Structure 1
């Protein structure tokens, strides 16, 4: 009986390992279509390609841009318009927050960006977690910007 349990346990591990390995398989990068598929599989429905290397994800009326760089790196971008924020406030954000960077663009609109480097390989899970964490950062960023809006 003990041998049968051991054999069943080993069989279960062997059967489950390939499924886990496939879900976490590392790639040097993904095509735009693969990224769209990863995001839609993760539940995001309004995902579209703007142009080569540029994907828009819309959630609750907000647009996020995913840049798919030629070297496989990914960059997420979010901007807020119609606010008056100083570079001092943006610097404060950058000093106190991790995993993203903020700046004022050419129109003085606050922008939040984050990068996922692909040089060590990335998986579907890396992509979805990168996007999920960025959404959390954007939520905090919006609150911060609106609290410091001088308009």
Structure 2
């Protein structure tokens, strides 16, 4: 069961990702300006106005989370950006406790909680995480339901008729070690278990 990549799907995913990153960058720039100029008057309520939110307790909580993300991004501005090779990525995974190995010249494999995970490097330096299931069948309508209701990933039915899920890390001029590991953590601890449960609830045994 091998991952199948479609350029159109990748471009659509990148466009959606870029819109979200652009909006986050705007708010983070405000946060960065706030920290640099010590403008304490730019409060959570003001940020709420930028986001079109009322300054409710819930909104303040969400803004606090967003400010934490922005602070982390701003702190990472001084971190070294790097475009990882396959061998370097294997070493990075091993550094963080994964028993990773090269599958071929462009792919890495490792186990996580009894799940086989593939990590594929594209020629432009971008990375893709891949997790597939077997023994359970989904319809195209069910796969479409996942893609319609979930973010930061895409699912499809592979050549063997098995449901799989993927997520991309867009590298550009480089990424930090923390960005790579956060990308992996989100996929392993959020996307993968959600997809497993989705397949279990919606699928039929083959």
Question: TM > 0.5 between the two?
Answer: yes
The structure with higher relative contact order (CA 8 Å, sep 6+) is 1
Residue 41 of structure 1: how far off its partner (Å): 1.5
Give the distance between the partners of 2:202 and 2:182, measured in 1 at CA.
29
Q: Give 1:33 shift.
A: 1.6
1:64 aligned to 2:117?
yes
Conserved in 2, the CA contact under 8 Å of 1:24 and 1:125? no
Q: Which has the higher helix share?
A: 2
Aligned ranges 1:12-31 → 2 under 5 Å = 24-27=79-82, 29-31=83-85
Q: CA deviation at 1:61?
A: 2.3
The runs of at least 4 consecutive aligned structure 1 residues that moved more than 3 Å come to: none
The answer on 1:133 being equivalent to 2:186 is yes
Structure-2 separation of matches of 1:99 and 1:41: 25
Q: How far apart in 1 are the matches of 2:81 and 2:89?
A: 14
Residue number in structure 2 paired with 1:112:
165
Corresponding position of 1:146: 200
Deviations 1:49-74 (A, max 9, x none): 11111100112321110001121100
Unaligned residue ranges in structure 2 (runs of 5+): 1-74
RMSD over aligned Cα, in angstroms? Answer: 1.8
* Equivalent residue for 1:47, pick from 73, 84, 100: 100
Query: Higher strand proportion, which one?
Result: 1
Alignment-derived partner of residue 76 in structure 1: 129
Within 2, Cα distance between the matches of 1:24 and 1:132? 19
Q: Which runs of 5+ in 1 are unaligned?
A: 1-19
- How many residues align? The count is 130
Per the normalisation by structure 1, the TM-score is 0.80
